[in-house]
A and B are shown apart, each in its own frame.
Chain A
Amino acid sequence: GQQLNQSPQSMFIQEGEDVSMNCTSSSIFNTWLWYKQDPGEGPVLLIALYKAGELTSNGRLTAQFGITRKDSFLNISASIPSDVGIYFCAASLNSGYALNFGKGTSLLVTP
């Protein structure tokens, strides 16, 4: 499958700071998803994006589907300690298709 380029690889921030991570691809995708994975658990879906240019929020999380359909970003505002985990971007040609994943962004938040 097509590997997505996710950055940064890791982030170490203080509680209350905002966080931004992004994902790019050399191919066009029609679905972009963002997941969070805690140790010993499966990935949990945070936000799903289906339309180029779409900007979607889920609480303190905001994600956008790039207009070129080759990129997406995830922002977390006012981070808290429970935001700690690994965040993965994923993309597919269409909803219901298998996913291509980024390598993940490891987020650490200090109180």
Chain B
Amino acid sequence: SAVISQKPSRDICQRGTSLTIQCQVDSQVTMMFWYRQQPGQSLTLIATANQGSEATYESGFVIDKFPISRPNLTFSTLTVSNMSPEDSSIYLCSVATGTGDRGAFFGQGTRLTVV
């Protein structure tokens, strides 16, 4: 398994501002994903972070609102832009090696509250 560190672990932000969440993995991984978990809900995929190219977004999520970077095989960022209270959620980074891997692994999450 991979060790995944997310920063910050939590934050309280003013509406209209932006927050960048960092995800650092202790080994090179093929696939990195970002998920959102709204209060009391399940996890929903935001996008797949592609190394060296633009992220692939799921229906309902757009690059202007959730820009993603992935400069190498161990690091990715997710920015939540122009935040509103509806963006209050836990944001989770996930990784999979893609071959011979026994599952997908998650960071501890970033708990975001927008006021």
Seen from chain A, the residues whose Cβ lies within 8 Å of a Cβ on chain B are 1, 33, 35, 40-45, 48, 50, 88, 90, 92, 95-104
A88 partner residues in chain B, CB cutoff 8 A: 42-43
Complex CA–CA separation, A40 to B58 (angstroms):
25
Q: Specify the chain A residue showing the minimal Cβ separation from B96.
A: A96
Prevailing SS type, chain A contact patch: loop
Task: Output the residue of A45, A88, A92 with the most chain B CB within 10 A.
Answer: A45
Contact of A98 among B33, B41, B97, B102 (CB under 8 A): B33
Query: In angstroms, how far is the closest chain B Cβ from the Cβ of A59?
Result: 16
Given A45-B1, A103-B42 in contact, is the A98-B48 Cβ separation under 8 Å?
yes
Q: How far is the CA of A8 from the CA of B85 in the complex (A)?
A: 30
Q: Is the CB of A96 within 8 A of B30?
A: yes
Determine the residue in chain A with the shortest Cβ distance to B46.
Answer: A98
Query: Can you sample 27 A-B contacts with CB below 8 Å?
Result: A1-B45, A1-B58, A40-B109, A41-B108, A42-B6, A42-B106, A42-B107, A43-B43, A43-B92, A48-B103, A50-B102, A88-B42, A88-B43, A92-B104, A95-B96, A95-B99, A95-B101, A95-B102, A96-B97, A98-B31, A98-B33, A98-B48, A99-B33, A99-B104, A100-B45, A103-B42, A104-B42
Query: In the bound complex, how far is the Cα of B104 from the Cα of A50, in angstroms?
Result: 12
A109 to B32, CA, bound (A): 34
Q: Known: A41-B108, A42-B109. Is A99-B101 also a contact (CB below 8 A)?
A: no
Q: Mark B4-45, 1 if CB is under 8 A from A, else 0.
A: 101000000000000000000000001101000000011111
A6's nearest neighbour on chain B, judged by CB, is B42
Complex-state Cα separation, A42 to B80, whole angstroms: 19
- For A44, the closest partner residue in chain B by CB is B106
Inter-chain contact A102/B42, CB cutoff 8 Å: yes
